[in-house]
Amino acid sequence: MINKELIDYFHRLPEKIIATVHKDPDYDAIGSLLAMGTLINALGKEVTLYSPDINTKQFKHLPGVKKIQRTPKSEYDLAIFLDCSDQNRIAEPTNFPNTKKIINIDHHQDNTQFGNMNLVLKISSVGEILFNLYKALNVPLTKESAINIYAAICFDTGNFKFSNTSPDTFLAASELLKMNINTTKISEWIFEEKPKNYFEDIKQGLNNMYLDSDYPFMIVQIPHHPHISGESTINFFRQLENIELIIVCKEVQKSEYRISFRSKQYINVAEIAHAFNGGGHVRASGATYQAPFSSLKEKIIPLARKAFE
């Protein structure tokens, strides 16, 4: 699963290392980033953990989150990209420092293999890749790293409910539970501790729902408002019965939409996301698109209908 070249390289890491994640990071990204920091420290090296647009409040319970920085140095020997299908998926890519080498660690099907070394696996989450990397490097898990890895896996599997959950995912979770972590609390942090603004987003979305008359898909518009939340609402809307495809368009600033695509059983949403210069997984993808919502909707509806044909 993890080749010898990469294992050998981790045992001779350079001095100046930076690790980063995709923009608008989620629990898989941040949990994996923190676990990578603990791993590198255990190998005797220091690392800059970098996420310039992190919402620290959202991840306040994850151990070590305060170590994540918003401003890097100008140059590094090694950059580790986590949960990024493309090098430009990070926040502020033009401001990213110069690096001599890149390690790309990801699980997206459309990863562009942009690293000098690529660890891209068909697996539930980057958190599960980190679990396997600890094992391959014979680095013992700590309670801190177990919490962060479990949070990453838990988020990207929808609390072990999504189709990306495999027998190996459950085996990894069972090993992490041996570290005496409180899985009930971790699940609460991720899925049940929502800020008040999250419910305002849902209210806006419920007032702006399009249900197609011919095919089982919905488009939810969340217009920009003063109290817009940084959290995704798509798992709320996917609960609607008899819907296969869910598309949430959240206006983050005037006429700029963050689009989330989810399917339940058979639609490949990554193909739809590509039409908006986005991407991701077969069942979960995203994109950012600049246009008035009327234009965006006109483009989405034919693409969604075609996906069912």
**φ/ψ bin of 138: left (φ > 0), alpha (ψ from -120 to 50), beta (otherwise):** left
DSSP annotation of 54 reads -
The values of phi and psi at residue 245, to 5°, are -120, 125
- Strand pairing category for 217-222 and 209-211: antiparallel
- Strand pairing category for 245-253 and 217-222: parallel
| Cα dihedral 104, 112, 73, 52 sign | negative
Residue-wise pLDDT tens digits, 179-230: 999 999 999 999 999 999 999 999 999 999 999 999 999 999 999 988 888 7
The pLDDT value given to residue 41: 98
Residue-wise pLDDT tens digits, 36-89: 999 999 999 999 999 999 999 999 999 999 999 999 998 999 999 999 999 999
The pLDDT value given to residue 295: 97
- 3 state SS of 96: coil
The pLDDT value given to residue 279: 87
196-308 has CATH 3.10.310.30 classification: yes
- Strand (E) or helix (H) holding 173: helix 167-177
Q: What is the pTM of this model?
A: 0.90
Residues 6+ apart with CB under 8 A from 5: 117
Residue-wise pLDDT tens digits, 154-181: 999 999 999 899 999 999 999 999 999 9
- Please give the CATH superfamily to which domain 4-191 belongs: inorganic pyrophosphatase (n-terminal core) (3.90.1640.10)
Nearest CA among 276, 288, 280 for reference residue 263: 280
Domain extent listing, the chain? 4-191, 196-308
